């Protein structure tokens, strides 16, 4: 049903944060509030939760909550640092990201995310700003469309898709999801069993229009800077491009300074990074996937902030 959202890896993600009753936490992707509600249930009266979402519909849900410990900002998580400062949050004990598109966004036909519904081709997570998918698709050069579809959709027929889109828009602007899906279906010669020919192209355009990978790349360093020593960074991703970014970031930040081998180091923290990896990647159980098939591709990665490079005054408890 449109508007419903089943929170993925709810218990696992919140448990990974090791919520302290008097701690300060950030839910960088409020959605419909599943993770936020669970965090608040673990916080005491002195605790605080700052949540973000760029979707006006999600913000409308959160604005209805009456809890003095809770603040919701209508902003993308790439603005994490500046928005947190504006709300008086200089440091956090835990930050959670639940990446990608939400079920209400997919299921609401008017949002234009899905090829399964006939709707205006929008795809913006924040409908109050930015260029819609139709605006971009009808103006972008063929080479740019091919690159986006190839890189963000991992579509092997990206050139054919781009060529077909440019040819079709020359006759009439592409403004609906169904027309785009039909154009792509004619350009994609084969597809994996059970997958619609338009799946990869729609994913690619959505990622591009919302700058999803750039948002992640911008936000993760700020999140790390905000964390107190011992604070947890937990990130749920849903496709390989997201997970690759998260995995590489955590891995690189878990490594210490690489010194030349001829320099002797004794009793130094040079071999320690700013993050310590916590366990292995966590995936949904078979029971969760059976209840919610959209959870099947989810991956949760967790890391803990060390004292290496901690800024004075920000990382104190």
Summarize the annotated binding site for S-adenosyl-L-methionine as residue ranges. 33-35, 53, 77, 98, 105
Nearest to 98 by CA among 139, 161, 51, 155: 51
> Which tokens go with 247?
């995995």
Q: How far apart are CA 261 and CA 313, in angstroms?
A: 34
Cβ contacts of 191 within 8 Å, gap of 6 or more: 197, 199
Q: Which residues are annotated as a binding site?
A: 33-35, 53, 77, 98, 105
Q: How far apart are CA 271 and CA 197, in angstroms?
A: 47
Instruction: Read off φ and ψ for residue 169, nearest 5 degrees.
Output: -70, -20
DSSP 55: -
Q: How far apart are CA 252 and CA 244, in angstroms?
A: 12
CB 92 within 8 A of CB 26: yes
Element (H, E) at 94: strand 92-98
Return the SS3 of 186.
helix
Q: How far apart are CA 111 and CA 98, in angstroms?
A: 20
Return the SS3 of 53.
strand
CB 108 within 8 A of CB 2: yes
Instruction: Read off φ and ψ for residue 220, nearest 5 degrees.
Output: -60, -45
| Residue count (the chain) | 317
> Which tokens go with 294?
């959209």
DSSP 22: T
> Please, what is the end-to-end C-alpha distance for the chain in angstroms?
43
> Which tokens go with 27?
């839910």
């Amino acid at each position: 049903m449109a508007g419903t959202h089943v929170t993925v890896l709810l218990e696992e993600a919140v448990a990974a944060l090791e919520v302290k009753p008097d701690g300060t936490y950030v839910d960088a992707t409020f959605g419909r509030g599943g993770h936020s509600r669970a965090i608040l249930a673990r916080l005491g009266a002195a605790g605080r939760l700052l949540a973000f979402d760029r979707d006006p519909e999600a913000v409308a849900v959160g604005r209805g909550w009456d809890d003095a410990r809770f603040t919701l900002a209508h902003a993308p998580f790439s603005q994490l640092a500046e928005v947190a400062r504006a709300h008086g949050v200089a440091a956090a004990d835990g930050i959670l990201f639940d990446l990608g598109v939400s079920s209400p966004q997919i299921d609401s036909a008017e949002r234009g995310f899905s090829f399964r519904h006939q709707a205006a081709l929008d795809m913006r997570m924040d409908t109050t700003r930015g260029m819609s998918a139709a605006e971009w698709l009808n103006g972008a050069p063929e080479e740019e469309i091919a690159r986006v579809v190839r890189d963000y959709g991992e579509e092997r027929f990206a050139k054919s898709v781009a060529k077909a889109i440019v040819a079709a828009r020359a006759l009439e602007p592409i403004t609906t999801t169904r027309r785009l899906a039909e154009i792509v279906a004619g350009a994609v010669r084969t597809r994996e069993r059970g997958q619609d020919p338009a799946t990869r192209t729609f994913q690619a355009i959505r990622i591009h229009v919302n700058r999803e990978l750039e948002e992640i790349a911008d936000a993760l360093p700020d999140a790390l800077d905000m964390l107190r020593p011992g604070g947890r960074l937990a990130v749920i991703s849903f496709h390989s491009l997201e997970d690759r970014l998260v995995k590489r970031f955590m891995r690189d930040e878990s490594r210490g300074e690489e010194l030349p081998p001829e320099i002797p180091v004794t009793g130094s923290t040079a071999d320690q990074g700013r993050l310590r990896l916590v366990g292995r990647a966590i995936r949904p159980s078979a029971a969760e996937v059976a209840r919610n098939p959209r959870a099947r591709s989810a991956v949760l990665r967790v890391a803990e902030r060390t004292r290496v490079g901690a800024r004075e005054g920000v990382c104190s408890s």
